[in-house]
A and B are shown apart, each in its own frame.
Chain A
Amino acid sequence: MNRFICSTTSALGIIAALLLFPEITYSAEEVASALRRYKEREVSTGYYEEYEVLPRHQRPMVGVPGVQRGIFPYSPSAARVRIRTRLADSHQGIKFYKRRRCEDCHVKETKDIHTIRANLTCRQCHGGEPIASIEHYYSSMNPIRRHAAVCSKCHEGASASFASYVVHTPNPAMAATKKTFPVLFYAFWIMVGVAVGTFVVFLPHTALWGIRELFAAKEKTTSEPKQHG
């Protein structure tokens, strides 16, 4: 009897604890990703394990083009249908969100100068949970206050115009950029055209010149004008 009361009390106690104590908040951490946290520790301590200092290009994960990694890939078509640009929590309703890392879905967004070179983490600009959609009125990323709330943390004196710099620059070579950032697309291809044009003309030109001069004897010590070759 005693034992029964004892075990019931303990069980009720555990249930009460589970109900009353606050939920463990994985995503509310300042840095959600273990990878990022590790990167930060490495940068701040300068201490690297031997196995970590392989050259950058030896990436352990091999991606298959067009195939999304993960056990529960978020449907791209569903994302297109659902409008997520004005929500207080832009990640609302995404399954297993707490257990996921930003770059699981936002792969391209990790490949910009701010992330790669300045070692910024996503949350240093986008903030902690919940991350509001950029067009939500109170979002710190809303263009009406983005420059003051986000950019000026590092770029002192940033203006709204300054904040229109596209941090997650699209690949300027891609056809999709023609629609999203036409000026960048055309500037890129015009410059590439100039560069390719120069080398298409001058590489064969210079190579042929070098070969031809091998056949032409270097004429010397003559007083009258002469042609080579």
Chain B
Amino acid sequence: MSPNNMARIKRFTPLQRIFHVLLMAAFLAQGATGLARMYIETPWGKKLSWVFGGYESALTIHKYVGIFMVCGFLLHVLYLVAAIDWRRFPSSLFGPDSLLPHGRDIKHFFLHFGWFLGINKAPQFDRWGYWEKFDYWAVFWGMVIMGSTGLLLAYPLAASRLMPGWGLNVAFWIHRIEAILAMAHVFLIHFFIAHLRRHNFPMDRAMFEGSADLDDTRHERPSWIARLDKAGTLDSVLVPEAKVYRRVLFYLLGYTAVALGFFLLIGGLVNSPYITW
């Protein structure tokens, strides 16, 4: 890209990147094992479950990975408590570095739509766009819903001590619909935004590399750069580009996830009329 050594701006910490990669791997494993069981009536589902050692062991893997994700989520909540700027609390929660939804996100959403249709100029995004905040909170509440219903279904005897057994019927359907929603959202919308749109094509490496191209960021998130310029801290968050072998690794990781996601999405859609819902 640019010959400048410090051409990229730091966007994610190593811990955040590790959590994203773990979440990616666990999400795909849960998607694949869950769909393998849901589609066991179809040849596609049978092949998919074969990868995990069959119908029964697919569930065993699904449960262990699920517990792993719940633990990861709890650790993330602890991380949040540590990451909040308590000295400027609570105003820090509503600042531009916070992922909490804000009134200006709704404004940006409509302005962005206006820009799509050529009605107005593009909104001045800060560090986090409204779509990124939406993705974050979608995963956050998704984890709560999937984790709680999943634990109820994984331990039905214990669960039916806490609630009537017919609650498991309800938990099953909530788990299923939320899973379909989550997979469709990630495999269609998240992948499109991070890979296919022209600004990011072929891939936005920021979540793997931890940094984004400074010029591109200046272009897409002018408010953020202007804010850092004004505070005089821009130079302190500039980093060099990652080495070639690492970039290759990031592309491999990203495209493996995209390939698996599309495989699950297309297989799921094509075979959906042939299963007993």
Instruction: Give me the interface of A with B, judged by CB distance under 8 Å.
Output: 55-57, 111, 116-117, 155, 157-159, 161-166, 169, 171-172, 181, 183-184, 187-188, 191-192, 194-195, 198-199, 202-203, 205-206, 208-214, 216, 218-222, 225-229
Contact = CB atoms under 8 A, between A and B. Distances in A.
Given A111-B276, A184-B170, A221-B2, A162 B165 contact: yes
The 10 closest A-B pairs by CB, nearest first: A162-B160, A225-B222, A57-B274, A191-B177, A164-B165, A208-B116, A213-B198, A165-B165, A195-B181, A161-B160
Contact of A206 (B181, B189, B225, B276): B189
B86 interface: no
B259 interface: no
A164 B164 contact: yes
Given A55-B274, A161-B164, A228-B220, A212 B116 contact: yes
Contacts of B116: 205, 208-209, 211-212
Contacts of A222: 215, 218-219
A156 to B, nearest CB: 8
A162 B43 CA distance: 33
Contacts of A171: 277
Contacts, number: 143
B258 interface: no
B98 interface: no
Interface string B176-198: 01101100110011001100111
Main secondary structure of the interface of B (DSSP, over half): helix
A184 B220 CA distance: 44
B47 interface: no
Nearest to B138: A198
Interface centre among A117, A202, A210, A219 (most CB of B within 10 A): A202
Contacts of B134: 202
B157 A206 contact: no
Given A164-B160, A171-B277, 12 more contacts: A55-B42, A159-B157, A159-B165, A164-B164, A166-B169, A183-B170, A184-B166, A206-B189, A206-B197, A210-B196, A212-B116, A218-B198
